[in-house]
Structure 1
């Protein structure tokens, strides 16, 4: 089974004039690989998957797989129509992958039993490891602690992207040892590592990914003070990266660096001029520390 330890980037999807900008995507991926990231989550929330058709999502996945080894690629897999989700899962799994990232079905707010059945069904149908995505503020449903602990005992579920906001649940999952616990809240990366977590699936790691990787390695070397200093250096950027709904500020920062156009698909909006000015200051300060 794949290892999901490390810093994974929740990959943004570049657009230009309304279409996917594949040259920008390739440049983005190449630079992040050079920085040493563990891999990528393609077509997740940061990738604006909800604004992409299934054909577009598969095209983005196929493009990334041309440039990135399969063991470093996780594909987002979300939906509330189980039949359609399973059909798309079959299409996705025709490609070699490290895994699929699956949140609870959004909007319909199933019962705890319904959640167990949903994840068991998806995991049973999966030919690759499943990374469970616990993010109740987007799905509208909370997976209770004991429900979650039962779900992740499934042999095909290998990791969790933890955005549940409950530290006791996080600690229980780490202590149980059934799965690797990756935080999906960037401000919690240092805390996750201190608690014995596996790392992060991070949107803000698009910028200075080398420092995120350094922090992980410092923790692996038990140099907590060095990791804390690295985290504190990144903190102003992490805070600015979520000043507007994700991925607006991340894309704004990448546009300032010349890596993509500052373009999102509606109804998402590009970040404001005030946020862009804040990003200019934060990025300049981040680079000045070198």
Structure 2
């Protein structure tokens, strides 16, 4: 069993007039810690890492590490230039982090052998555990089951963020005993936990965070009826979170709570008035 259990939040990156809002970031991270999340994931999809320079990504990581114990911080590590990615990895690893969240290289669609080589190369170069991020609808890379099982047999690859949409692969990972599974599709969190997932990396858990933590604890303690009821209370929130491209709805909800602004980096756009109205109705209940 790895250290990656429970509810982890892939924290958004707040902006103000185009620059990173470090005051808002610290306020948000402190708020999440008060809600007893297992940890914080930095510079992920939800954190708009693709819109941040490498320098900015390190600055966000450093800001989070000032507030969060290192064993509760995971850094996203994404890119399709392997040499540049490995150089950036070495910079990240100068910081004390609990692990790296690594997706397949996007756009180039490597072969199955290429995927295996890529993840083993990153893992070999890492001094901390690696979480494989399986998200084919963003990367364009789909893992065959045999490839996935070969990759996670690496001693440093300890968990998978499962957004693959392939139940057969999920079950094979759970049955293998080689790796922990962290659900990455928020609407599947209850199902995944009941199947044996060790936790979730949930963008939705920015809001009503304590309810996500409660649901995880209820499943862990075999209180399945209670966990199911908690999940169904959260379902309207989860559905609203993904009405429009992530993280626009997340930032809209957090703005209504006064934690950060709704600003995103282009070409991402702030949430529509329809989403804002939906949040106002939901969060006033």
Normalised-by-shorter TM-score class:
over 0.9
> What are the residue-to-residue correspondences of 1:126-137 with 2, within 5 Å?
126-137=126-137
Distance 1:255 1:49 in 2: 20
- Name the structure 1 match of 2:284: 284
Q: Deviations over 1:159-194 (max 9, x none)?
A: 000000011111110111111100100001000110
Unpaired runs of 5+ residues, structure 2, are none
Matched with 1:164 is 164
Large movers: runs of 4+ above 2 Å: none
- Supply the distance in 2 between the matched residues of 1:113 and 1:262 (Cα, whole angstroms): 41
In the alignment, which residue of structure 2 is the partner of 1:36?
A: 36
Deviation at 1:2, TM superposition (A): 5.0
For 1:151 and 1:130, the matched residues in 2 are separated by 11
1:2 touches 1:71 (CA, 8 Å); kept in 2? no
1:138 is aligned to 2:138: yes
Q: Which residue of 2 aligns with 1:288?
A: none
Superposition deviation, residue 284 in structure 1: 1.9
1:214 equivalenced with 2:228 (yes/no): no
Instruction: Quote the Cα distance in structure 2 between the aligned partners of 1:283 and 1:9.
Output: 19
Q: Distance in 2 between matches of 1:166 and 1:54?
A: 32
Residues 2 and 159, structure 2, Cα contact 8 Å, conserved in 1: no
RMSD over equivalenced CA pairs, Å: 0.8
Q: Deviations over 1:222-269 (max 9, x none)?
A: 000000010000000000001100000000000111110110000000
Equivalent residue of 2:160, what SS? Answer: strand
When normalised by structure 2's length, the TM-score is 0.99
* Deviation at residue 147 of structure 1 after TM alignment: 0.4
Partner in structure 2 of residue 102 of structure 1? 102
Q: 1:22, 1:227 → 2: CA distance?
A: 35
TM-score by length of 1: 0.97
**Structure 1: 5+ residue runs without aligned partners?**
286-290
Aligned to 1:192: 192
Q: Matches of residues 1-290 of structure 1 in structure 2 within 5 Å?
A: 3-285=3-285
What whole-Å deviation, never above 9, does each CA across 1:25-74 have from its counterpart, x for those lacking one? 11111111111100011000000001100000000000000000000000
